[in-house]
Amino acid sequence: MRVQTGVSFLFALVLACQAKKDYSGYQVLTTGKLSPVQVDALRNLQTSDERFDFWKEAHPDGAADVMSSADHLTALKEFLTKHNIDYSVKIQDVGEAIQISEKPSPTKKSNPNARYNLNWDEYGSHDDFNEFIEEIASQNSWASVRSIGKSVEGRDMKVLELTKGGSGAPNIFIEAGIHAREWIAPAVATYTVKELVENYDSHPEYLDNFNFYVLPCANPDGYEYSRSTDRLWRKNRGLNDGALCKGVDLNRNWEFHWAESGVSDSPCSDVFCGYTPTSEIESQNIKAFYSTLSPVPELTVCFHSAANLWLYPYGYAYDSYPDNVDEIRRLGEDAVDALNAVNGQSFECINSAELYPAAGASDDYYASLGSRFVYTPELRDNGFGFVLPPEYIIPSGEEVWAAWKVMLDKIMPNKE
């Protein structure tokens, strides 16, 4: 019996190991500065050729990062050479980079006496996020958890509501993790909650004057799939009728100017926008929840990674901005200055479409509903892209907190 249990355990272990997608031999190439013509060529490649995975989109005067398996590397290099695009190797072996990023952080700083599992020395699970927000809610009379629906695989999507500000106070919505593999996003969103709540005494004015609504993980199935099976999974895990490939890019599924740019209509693409707008249950749940917030959030922040950017709307097309774009840009730039001052990062505040016109993202949708300030931070890269080692969670949380302070101080009621 014992032996049998041991054997089946081993068998399960072997299966589990085999089940994980192997990225050894995959490389990420980074290009030199791109001309507009080169940008167009790369954008076509991104939406038409599923062999290549864009870690950073091509934009004029910027660089693009593209991943390829060993098998297709020659084809990628030929493409780049044909278009006169300089490149160098950014990640020599993605499999190794993933392994490095899975090592626990050497600098254990977070609180070992916490009453929840989540800590910011390593990346948590979706259950850890939910346990953390439930614990915050159970300890504070002004905090509660709202279930906003289930994901396609049945995971509970939960929003933490910090409503000490009371009715009529400005609302703030935080969405993180709509892209599964961008693990630093939920980590920083939950770090923000920890700072707001557990360090309340250092800055009571924030919880006292605002209501915060935090969805730490907008794509729970994708996130768990990226933990268990494919570290670089981006989309949700919905079935696509008539197709073998699963998943919709939830950040191309929103109904504002849906499918107009930066999407693919192929279910196997990483930027598949779905067959219809808001087709996905996760986008439906978030949309329904957001519409209950009254007043419309003054500030909405959607955390992504890993381009060291602070994006502002709109992103669906060039030269399309909300009416108050000047104040949006000014506040974004001030937030980024404060962020960069903390650890010497070099984030930039730019318009989303300048990075890459892409329609159907949630940020555009929130802005279209009248959220006054909407930002999409693309958190740290540190040379690792999506597979950022966990020792960078705390520094990321700290620098983003500096940005929060600038934004919250600016929109604080009675301060303008």
Nearest to Zn ion of 45, 306 (CB atom): 306
Q: Which residue has the tokens 């989303």?
A: 352
DSSP 237: -
**Toward ligand ARG, which CB reaches closer, 132 or 386?**
386
Long-range contacts of 32-37 (CB under 8 A, 24+ apart): 32/63, 32/85, 32/86, 32/87, 33/61, 33/62, 33/63, 34/58, 34/59, 34/60, 34/61, 34/62, 34/63, 34/64, 34/85, 35/60, 36/60, 37/83
Distance CA 129, CA 290 (A): 20
Under rule CB under 6 A, how many of the chain's residues touch ligand ARG?
11
Applying CB under 6 A, which of residues 190, 340, 376, 396 lies at the interface with ligand ARG? 376
Q: Which entry of ligand ARG, Zn ion, none binds 222, CB below 5 to 8 A by partner kind?
A: none
> DSSP labels for 55-67?
EE---TTS--EEE
Work out the burial of residue 316: count CB atoms within 10 Å of its CB; fewer than 13 is exposed, 13-18 middle, 19 or more buried. Answer: buried
**Packing angle between helix 184-198 and helix 393-411, nearest 10 degrees?**
60
- Give min distance, CB of 379 to ligand ARG, in A: 11
Does 179 bind Zn ion (CB under 5 A)? Our answer is yes
363 near ligand ARG, judged by CB under 6 A: yes
Residue nearest to ligand ARG (CB): 315
Which region, judged by CB under 5 A, interacts with Zn ion, from 18-26, 112-120, 182-190, 294-302?
182-190
Helix, strand, coil share of the chain (percent; to 5): 40, 15, 45
The answer to the question of residue 361 lying near ligand ARG (CB under 6 A) is yes
Binding of ligand ARG by 315 (CB under 6 A): yes
253 binds, among Zn ion, ligand ARG, none (CB under 5 to 8 A by kind): none
Residue 181 binds Zn ion, judged by CB under 5 A: no
Q: Find the shortest distance in angstroms from Cβ 65 to ligand ARG.
A: 12
How would you label 273-293 residue by residue, b for 16+ Cβ within 10 Å and e otherwise?
bbeebbbbbbbebbbebbeeb
346, with CB counted inside 10 A (0-12, 13-18, 19+), is exposed
Nearer to Zn ion, 126 or 304 (CB): 304
Identified binder of ligand ARG from the candidate list 352, 371, 382, 396, rule CB under 6 A: 352
Q: What is the DSSP letter of 319?
A: T
Site string for ligand ARG, 228-267 (x = CB under 6 A): -----------------------x----------------
378 catalytically annotated: yes
Exactly one of 57, 378, 391, 399 is catalytic; name it. 378
Which residue type sits at 343? N
One residue of 364, 381, 391, 399 binding ligand ARG per CB under 6 A:
364
User: Considering beta carbons, is residue 273 or 281 the nearer one to ligand ARG?
Assistant: 273
DSSP state of 359: -
Strand partners, 304: 378
Question: How crowded is residue 383: how many other Cβ atoms within 10 Å of its Cβ?
Answer: 12
Please report which helix (H) or strand (E) contains residue 305, including its range.
strand 299-305
Least distance in Å: CB of 316 to ligand ARG?
A: 6
Pick 136 or 407: Cβ nearer ligand ARG: 407
Give me the least distance between CB of 363 and ligand ARG, in Å please: 5
Which residues have a catalytic role annotated? 378
Which stretches of the chain bind ligand ARG, using CB under 6 A?
251, 304, 311, 315-316, 352, 358, 361, 363-364, 376
Which stretches of the chain bind Zn ion, using CB under 5 A?
179, 182, 304
